[in-house]
Amino acid sequence: SGLLKGKRGLILGVANNRSIAYGIAKSARAHGAELALTYQGEALKKRVEPLAAELGGHLVGHCDVTEPETLDAVFAETERLFGTLDFVVHCIAFSNKDELDGRYVETTADNFTKTMFISCYSFTAVAQRAEKLMTNGGSLITLTYYGAEKWMPHYNVMGVAKAALEASVRYLAADLGPKAIRVNAISAGPIKTLAASGIGDFRYILKWNELNSPLRRTVTTDEVGDTGVYLVSDLSRGVTGEVHHVDAGYHIVG
Ligand code: 0WD
């Protein structure tokens, strides 16, 4: 469809073709969006380059949110290419793997700070830069997980960071609403990606969701992608500050 025809979007967080960011990029492209993508480091560049080409998108550079100058460079390149920006998709999170297992109470100050910065603050850092390019209004989306709302095994400090991320969605939505910039999150059910492979007992969590979600299955990156299209399109023009679950209904059960 031409739902996103004429819309230009920046996608952050494609690591490979299993990434949620890739699922959203693919759906957005199928609905006519023009895309800019980033990669984190040279190793991932080799993975992301062919995916950007396949999507007819532009690679706008290396982005590591712990190096703010790389975010500045990416937004400068996006402005040079597009002029204005209609949407941004933020699919970035990180925590030390050895703290995504065992007990939350053991979290170190260093990993707490790092997890919060990369998984929560980076969305605000992105919003600051996006606001300047969204002169015709726009839509920002980020990815969260049910572990923000309820205790989940092994999610630990990432659950705390996702809770803060969901709160930041509400504060950003209030700040940017007067400029017709909407801010929403998708709370995705578990999907086997690179980031998920760091979480202890992940296969068990997938199985548990399969057995207990209302739809009796898990979700795919394509399904998250289609919801992403809705949230960045004008179909959702009345929606902001929302955390929208794409989890086969698990959140009403668990
Ligand atoms: O079950 C899942 N997979 C769920 C994921 C359920 C619900 C939510 N999510 C969230 C994640 O927490 C994350 O916010 O979705 C988002 C995307 O994650 P993903 O698609 O599951 O995982 P992946 O394909 O690994 O993409 C995450 C990427 C990183 O990949 P790796 O695995 O190499 O860390 O986030 C990027 C990176 O490309 N990333 C960074 N980007 C810029 N600067 C940084 C950083 N410092 N750290 C990680």
Q: Is the pLDDT score of 254 beyond 90?
A: no
Sign of CA pseudo-dihedral 25, 157, 160, 104: positive
pLDDT band for position 85 (50/70/90)? very high
Q: Find the Cα–Cα–Cα–Cα dihedral 192, 39, 130, 182, rounded to 10°.
A: -20
Query: 122-133 vs 156-176: helix axis angle to the nearest 10?
Result: 20
- When the pLDDT of each residue in the chain is averaged and rounded to a whole number, the result is 97
Are the C-beta atoms of residues 29 and 57 closer than 8 Å to each other? yes
Q: pLDDT of 130-160, one tens digit each?
A: 999 999 999 999 999 999 999 999 999 999 9
Convert 192-248 into a string of H (helix), E (strand) and C (coil).
CCCCHHHCCCHHHHHHHHHHHCCCCCCCCHHHHHHHHHHHHCHHHCCCCCCEEEECC
Residue 145 annotated as catalytic? yes
Q: Which of 44, 145, 149, 193 to mutate to test the pocket of ligand 1 (most atoms within 8 A of CB)?
A: 193
Say what the pLDDT of residue 10 is.
Answer: 98
CA–CA dist 88, 54 (Å, integer): 19
| Centre of ligand 1 from the C-alpha of residue 178, in Å | 30
Q: DSSP 3-state assignment of 61?
A: strand
Report all structural domains of the chain as residue ranges with CATH numbers, in order of start: 8-249 (3.40.50.720)
Q: Which of 22, 39, 145, 146 is catalytic?
A: 145
Paired residues of 27 in beta bridges: none
For ligand 1, whether the C-beta of 65 sits within 6 Å is yes
Q: How far is the CA of 58 from the centre of ligand 1 (A)?
A: 20
Q: What is the pLDDT of residue 198?
A: 86
ipTM attached to this prediction: 0.98
Angle of CA points 73, 49, 84, to nearest 5°: 40
The stretch 125-129 carries a mean pLDDT of: 98
- Ligand 1 centroid–CA 249 distance in Å is 22
Q: Express each pLDDT in 11-56 by its tens digit.
A: 999 999 999 999 999 999 999 999 999 999 999 999 999 999 999 9
